[in-house]
Amino acid sequence: MNKLIVLVLVLANFLFAADAELDIVKKSATLPKIEIGVAPSAMNKALTLKIKSMIAKDLKVSGHFEVLNTKSSVNYNLKPDMLSLSNKGTDLFLNINANVSGFGGYTVMIKLYDINSKQLILNRSFTTSKEDRYPFVAHRIAISINKHLKAPPIDWMDKFVVFSQYKKAKKADIIIADYTLTYQKAVIRGGLNIFPKWADKKQESFYYTTYDKGIPTLIKTNIYTRKREIIMKSEGMLVASDVSSDGKKLLITASPNYQPDIYLYDLRKKSKVRLTTYKGIDVGAHFVENDSKIVFVSDRLKYPNIFSKKLGSRGVERLVYHGRNNSSATTHKDFVVYTSRDRDNEFGTYTFNLYLMSTKSDFLKRLTSNGTNQFPKFSNDGESIIFVKTVNDKSSIGIIRLNYSKSFLFPLKSGKIQSIDW
């Protein structure tokens, strides 16, 4: 157990850094080695093996474990061979069992053993009424293991991702999914439905833009009750780009006067205030620095770039001095991730890469190196970035683990991702 405690304490030091660089370097390359087995008594073996595979994927994405590729099968009521596992260098052994009820329910039981102390350290069960939601069962298991070992949180894995999926011209559905895109469910179908944005941290409702008789209409809908509320309509362009931390205000891009501007919409008063008045393009605003400022995209330099504006003031500040096509941005506290077009090679081809910066220093770090990377979004804890990557005209969801300099891709099997939020 002592070895595992030391490893966990090392991991605990990798929490989101307070300094501007966010460039956390591991002081030890040693991670707990975990082996995952499926008990012979597990029912619905094919589904249980999918659970195992998803747990392994989650633990790898967490950056906190080294997952060993094995096909262990151990009686669920017996302890594993501790000596044999120890000789292989295994630190943890996870045994999985599963039951299926007569009503269609599916329950996964887990036992986690610390091989160094030869003890059972976690014994839990997880249930779902719908088998197609098994990815979330796996995510909860991974979160539980991670939390039990006091590693930095990975709770974002159990959250929904919402995205707009292009089907064909003027046809796009709104989909909710897990972050790997293994589970997917269409919640809005028919017509052109784009730019979904979660309305709250509970992920009960989201905003999206639809075209009602050709007029862009901003809708708020509840994914459980299906209650729909029209927020506003506007000619030209209409997008809800960010929600204040208390959920009471929206940043909206609208173009009632032909040129898109940023508006602050008060959901209680149902009123809006125009924040930008530039006779050009101002779009995609996000709150920053505790909702006291906004960051947005503008063509004030005759090409898209990132600017900031303090709420209540008239002045606008240029934030990015890199690249000549910076077309989207996302924020967390004092940090900004933005998209920039870069020259890929000497023959003049281009890529769109993601860059991380601070609003309070001159820190700048590139996060991607190839392909077209767009629509970045911070996780709620600020430790991860989700984005859309396009390669050979195919869409994937990308996850960047900022504190671990690791990235992962999860491809969309059909259609294209128009925009995304989590």
- Mean pLDDT computed over 158-173: 93
Average pLDDT over all residues of the chain: 89
Q: How far apart are CA 380 and CA 193, in angstroms?
A: 25
Asked if residue 6 has pLDDT above 50, the reply is no
Lowest mean pLDDT of 19-33, 117-131, 155-169, 184-198, name the range. 19-33
3-state secondary structure the chain: CHHHHHHHHHHHCCCCCCCCCCCCCCCCCCCCEEEEEECCCCCCHHHHHHHHHHHHHHHHHHCCCEEECCCCCCCCCCCCCHHHHHHCCCCEEEEEEEEECCCCCEEEEEEEEECCCCEEEEEEEEEECCHHHHHHHHHHHHHHHHHHCCCCCCHHHHCCEEEEEEEECCEEEEEEECCCCCCEEEEECCCEEEEEEECCCCCCEEEEEEEECCEEEEEEEECCCCCEEEEEECCCCEEEEEECCCCCEEEEEECCCCCCEEEEEECCCCEEEECCCCCCCEEEEEEECCCCEEEEEECCCCCCEEEEEECCCCCCEECCCCCCCCCCEEEECCEEEEEEEEECCCCCCEEEEEEEEECCCCCEEECCCCCEEEEEEECCCCCEEEEEEEECCEEEEEEEEHHHCEEEEEECCCCEEEEEEC
pLDDT band at 350 (very low <50, low <70, confident <90, very high): confident
pLDDT in the model for residue 19: 32
pLDDT band at 344 (very low <50, low <70, confident <90, very high): low
Tokens in use for 391?
Answer: 């390669």
Residues 156 and 380 sit within 8 Å (Cβ to Cβ): yes
Asked if residue 407 has pLDDT above 70, the reply is yes
- Mean pLDDT computed over 310-337: 93
pLDDT in the model for residue 29: 56
Q: How far apart are CA 149 and CA 185, in angstroms?
A: 33
Q: Which residues of 366-389 are buried (b: 16+ CB within 10 A; e: fewer)?
A: ebbeebbbbbbbbbeebbbbbbbb
- Which one-letter amino acid corresponds to residue 329? A
pLDDT in the model for residue 257: 80
pLDDT in the model for residue 26: 34
- Which domains can be identified in the chain, with CATH numbers? 2-155 (3.40.50.10070), 159-421 (2.120.10.30)
pLDDT band at 393 (very low <50, low <70, confident <90, very high): confident
Encode pLDDT of 169-223 as tens digits. Answer: 889 999 999 999 999 999 999 899 999 999 988 999 999 999 977 899 999 999 9
Encode pLDDT of 26-85 as tens digits. Answer: 334 589 999 999 999 999 999 999 999 999 999 999 999 999 998 889 999 999 999 999
